[in-house]
Amino acid sequence: MASATRPTVGFIGLGIMGRPMARNLLRAGHPLIVHDVVAGPVADLVAEGAAVAASPRDVAAACDVLITMLPDSPQVEDVYLGDGGALEAARPGWLAIDMSSIAPRVARAVAARATATGADMLDAPVSGGEPGAIAGTLSIMVGGSEAAFDRARPLLGVLGRTIVHVGPAGAGQVVKLCNQVVVAVVIEAVAEALVLGTKAGVEPERIVDVLQGGLAATKVLEVRGPNMLAGRYEPGFRANLHLKDLRNALELAREAGVVVPAAAGVEQLMQRLRIAGRGDLDHSALVTVLEELAGARVCDGPAGPG
């Protein structure tokens, strides 16, 4: 299992984020065992030196530390708690790190089941997107015990640059939802401004140039603005995943007794994007909903909405 210096890592969920993260662990010298329900990314990592296991339980049995990077709460419950799930092989000394973005309530429940076996578990969702996953510069917000965090820290250092222990189990997911509320509301604000300015007769590129030099400057406009200007929305971060985060944020707000009117409004616009059949585009495609409502386009390029 563990090499002399580096623990054996299991990795489940080799999508847009998981695949480059797993690759970075392999390149850092960790023996790696991978699993996904889709064959293509598994084959790619095996070609680069990873081993493969047929079920989450088999991955868990063969590794010291399991990392999961799955779409949402149901997949995390399935991988950890389902038939042939990872917790069937959980044991004292074993560590699980779920880096998916899921509901804090589910993160706390799965962690309680893991720790009941004597194992440790952290929730450690990330920010920084596919470029951050490839470069190993993600921001990682970690919930769980201090001891588990200290143990995970060197491994997380391979994947990210800003790594903060934010509280007990579930706290990482709470902070991630705060992050997703900010990003969603800023995308909506940027989209709204570009549609307004364009329909009122100003070139959108000029609007961006000026906004980025003043108080309105934002990383969202820097990173996603080019999509809106070009009318191209390859993900990136799929709008359906952001819709999932907003729904988890609304659930958290209900539990915590908080009103989140801006997040609730953007959830409805993201819902409209999904109904229109564009939920698998990048979340910056939210601008296409505002374009339709205004009867105007930011971009006259060939791609257009969709």
The residues of the shown chain that bind ligand NAD, judged by CB under 6 A, are 12-18, 35-38, 41, 69-71, 75, 78-79, 100-101, 126-127, 129-130, 237, 241
Distance of CA 283 to the CA centre of its chain: 12
Nearer to ligand NAD, 78 or 88 (CB): 78
Q: How far is the CB of 287 from ligand NAD (least distance, A)?
A: 17
Give the count of beta carbons closer than 10 Å to the beta carbon of residue 45.
23
Which residue number is nearest to ligand NAD in terms of Cβ?
Answer: 15
Q: Are 212 and 180 in contact (CB under 8 A)?
A: no
Strands 120-123 and 126-127: unpaired
**Sign of the four-CA dihedral 263, 202, 234, 219:** negative
Nearer to ligand NAD, 37 or 210 (CB): 37
**Sign of the four-CA dihedral 224, 175, 165, 105:** negative
Q: How far is the CB of 272 from ligand NAD (least distance, A)?
A: 20
Nearer to ligand NAD, 38 or 116 (CB): 38
Q: Are 180 and 249 in contact (CB under 8 A)?
A: yes
* Rounded CA separation 287/155 (Å): 38
Q: Is 199 a catalytic residue?
A: no
Q: Are 101 and 70 in contact (CB under 8 A)?
A: no
Which residues 6+ apart lie within 8 Å of 153 measured at CB? 163
DSSP notation for 198-224:
HHTT--HHHHHHHHTTSTT--HHHHHH
Distance of CA 305 to the CA centre of its chain: 24
Q: How far is the CB of 266 from ligand NAD (least distance, A)?
A: 16
Nearer to ligand NAD, 233 or 237 (CB): 237
Nearer to ligand NAD, 70 or 285 (CB): 70
Nearer to ligand NAD, 282 or 291 (CB): 282
Q: Are 31 and 6 in contact (CB under 8 A)?
A: yes
Distances (CA, A) of 175 to 40, 103, 252, 281: 32, 11, 11, 25
Q: How far is the CB of 167 from ligand NAD (least distance, A)?
A: 19
Q: How far is the CB of 296 from ligand NAD (least distance, A)?
A: 28
Q: How far is the CB of 22 from ligand NAD (least distance, A)?
A: 11
Catalytic residues: 176
